[in-house]
Structure 1
Amino acid sequence: MVYRIHFTAEDLARTRVAAAPLPSVELDIAVRMVQERSHPVRFGAWRQQALRRLRPQARMILDLISPRGASPDFLGATQTDSPEEFLQQVRSTPSSRVQRDLARIAERRALPAWVRRLADDEELLEQLWDTWEHVYEQLLGSYWPHIVERVAAERAARMRDVLEGGIARLFAGLNPQRIRWEAPVLHITMASGLDADLRLEGRGLLLVPSVFGCESPVVNPDAQPQPMLTYPADGDQRPLLLTATLHASTSHNPAASLATLLGRTRAAVLVAIAERPGCTTRELATTVGVAPASASEHATVLRTAGLIDTMRLKNMALHSPTSTGLALLDSGTD
């Protein structure tokens, strides 16, 4: 029993690997994972910490996203790689869309009684959005820079596969236990045992490396602008262990000591540029977890202050630290 994705030449030409992790994908899988006991070495410390930090209201989200089965589309119907944009898009979901998606889920499994009040209770709906953001912060927020770094390394490995062996090698390295390429069809063994066919019809496929999706592939045939498929963001690397130590290293990064001077987000932007000289504005936004417009604004302030330089290459802005910026970071870690 396999899920089959059919490719044309046009589909292969448009198939790509996501430039960064997708918050919608990682959070959906993380909510499921926190309710399980699987992968205790890899996720055990993260799971214990998350369960301690989650407020009782988080039960709202756990009720909507169960360990198995479909979750409401409005909680993940976006392919933006900015956590800030993702959370804003979810919060702006029309109540009619919320009602329609929950009705679809209710056809498959029982939902708590409070769900029926969402369409008419604005205060309850606002509580749901606040809780969604709280769940993101506790499950992913502190780990996000590490997840971004892991996915960047994984993407580079997959691009090397394409250069050296073409699309066939790319597909072969995604998830050998569950994904098999027999041109022109990609065969996927789903955890659910789903047997179905997806014809891409010229749209191509978005391949999404996932830290939390370390085992079973997830296919979203309705994603826009193109269907997507997740695969483990491990490649040839050792698994990223989400430990308490990893969490602490994020909480005590150099940006923290500069926050009083520059502000928390702007300090994080300066650190990100120093660690990734020549990064684009979008890469910067993804690393820090802000919208591209916000990243551009912070970069402008840092450039005016003489802490970074920006070079234009076609339609891209490439940011690098100046000696003054590096000196300021060095003083912040003393």
Structure 2
Amino acid sequence: MTKRIHFTAEDLARTRVATTLGVAAETLDSIKRLRAGDSTPAFHRWRTAVGAESAGSLREQAGPLLALMPDRGPQIDMASLAGDATDIDEAVDHLLAAPRALVRLEVEYLDIHPPHRAWAGLLADGDRAARLELAEALRACHRAAVAPYWQQMHAHLTSVRTDYVHTMAEGGVERLLETVGTPLVRWRPPVLEVRHPCESDIHLRGRGLIVVPTVFSSQQAEVLHSPVDEEQPPVLALPTVGGRAHGSALWISRGPAERSLEDLMGRTRAAVLAAAADGCSTTELARSLGISPATASQHASVLRKAALITTRRDGKAVLHMTTRLGAALLASTTPGFGP
């Protein structure tokens, strides 16, 4: 099925790109991945680090948030309630200050499980205690699933947005629409077709479109609308971490041991070594770490000369992999890289 986004010339002129849906939306999507038992290789290290806690104390702490994420039908839109803030404190402030009418709109159509309906009703009616419980649940989920990796995630998202901007600068908005999100998105002027479980048509009517990269969103593009302001442009959220394991560099939590590795070889070079643990190309290195391909290639060359990685051809690209020595160094200094 397909969602079709209909553009006019005015919509093309008003289309822009943003860096992130916000830390709150990424937190919600991270919990969706944990609940779904997602097996995407790129998220393996993250699941390993977070999974044990999510099965115990996190599940209890996240209760109010999980109540608004029913198995069937729509789920709560945290981007709408908490905004696109990149700081969790700011996101919580937005959540606590969200208009009561907006909260009601977000809650009243959810298929809430019977044990949680009374609490959800209080939330929809503006009960302060219920909203504080939701805010604390969001904080708990962020603390466990996102906070240790947010710096790397934000660098990755910034790098992807920079790519979008360069594409627009060189070929205009239509060039961006032709290349972004393939194969999930297809540009057939003047319609952008988005692969989606629901069939629908969206007419922008001069509002334009906001294109936003994401980390934790499911492997499909999402089109998001403001439930209270029809004049706001829709948002096209695009997943940027694919099925291969090249997202590993995103999941490096900086503990004391890791900082010692950074002291030894430099932060970026340590991240390049970690990213190569599961194999990645120079382009994938550059994107996941927010550096240029030339810089990524230079760091890879140094690590190769030190016998910490190997490099081989993989079609038109080159694939970097840690050697036994490199893997041993990572295992001894970085949590989660052991056998």
Fold match, TM over 0.5? yes
| Aligned pairs (5 A) from 1:206-217 | 206-213=210-217, 215-217=219-221
- Report how many residues are paired: 249
Scaled by the length of structure 1, the TM-score of the pair is 0.65
- Structure 1 equivalent of residue 304 of structure 2: none
The whole-number CA distance in structure 2 between the counterparts of 1:251 and 1:116 is 47
Instruction: State the one-letter code of the partner of 2:158.
Output: A
Instruction: State the one-letter code of the partner of 1:136.
Output: H
Q: Does 1:58 align with 2:65?
A: no
SS of the residue aligned with 1:35?
helix
Instruction: State the one-letter code of the partner of 2:3.
Output: Y
Per-residue deviation, residues 267-322 of structure 1 (Å, max 9, x unmatched): xxxxxxxxxxxxxxxxxxxxxxxxxxxxxxxxxxxxxxxxxxxxxxxxxxxxxxxx
- CA-based RMSD of the aligned residues comes to 3.1
Structure 2: 5+ residue stretches without partners: 264-339
Instruction: State the one-letter code of the partner of 1:8.
Output: T
Instruction: State the one-letter code of the partner of 1:233.
Output: T
The whole-number CA distance in structure 2 between the counterparts of 1:23 and 1:250 is 25
Contact 1:210-1:230 within 8 A present in 2 as well:
yes
- Per the TM alignment, residue 206 of structure 1 is displaced from its structure 2 partner at its CA by 0.5
- Structure 1 equivalent of residue 90 of structure 2: 85
Instruction: State the one-letter code of the partner of 2:225.
Output: P
Structure 1: 5+ residue stretches without partners: 258-334
Contact 1:22-1:208 within 8 A present in 2 as well:
no
Contact 2:65-2:138 within 8 A present in 1 as well:
yes
Q: Does 1:165 align with 2:165?
A: no
| Aligned pairs (5 A) from 1:194-233 | 194-213=198-217, 215-222=219-226, 225-233=232-240
Distance 1:187-1:248 versus aligned 2 partners, 3 A rule: same
Instruction: State the one-letter code of the partner of 1:125.
Output: R
SS of the residue aligned with 2:213?
strand
Scaled by the length of structure 2, the TM-score of the pair is 0.64
Distance 1:188-1:137 versus aligned 2 partners, 3 A rule: same
| Aligned pairs (5 A) from 1:70-109 | 70-73=74-77, 76-83=80-87, 84-95=89-100, 97-106=102-111
The whole-number CA distance in structure 2 between the counterparts of 1:120 and 1:222 is 20
| Aligned pairs (5 A) from 1:146-161 | 146-161=152-167
Contact 2:61-2:140 within 8 A present in 1 as well:
no
Distance 1:7-1:104 versus aligned 2 partners, 3 A rule: same
- Per the TM alignment, residue 165 of structure 1 is displaced from its structure 2 partner at its CA by 2.7
Per-residue deviation, residues 7-27 of structure 1 (Å, max 9, x unmatched): 111111111110345224322
Percent of residue pairs bearing the same amino acid type: 26
The whole-number CA distance in structure 1 between the counterparts of 2:256 and 2:180 is 28
Distance 1:251-1:10 versus aligned 2 partners, 3 A rule: farther
- Structure 1 equivalent of residue 143 of structure 2: 137
Instruction: State the one-letter code of the partner of 2:76.
Output: P
The whole-number CA distance in structure 2 between the counterparts of 1:15 and 1:102 is 30
- Per the TM alignment, residue 249 of structure 1 is displaced from its structure 2 partner at its CA by 5.6
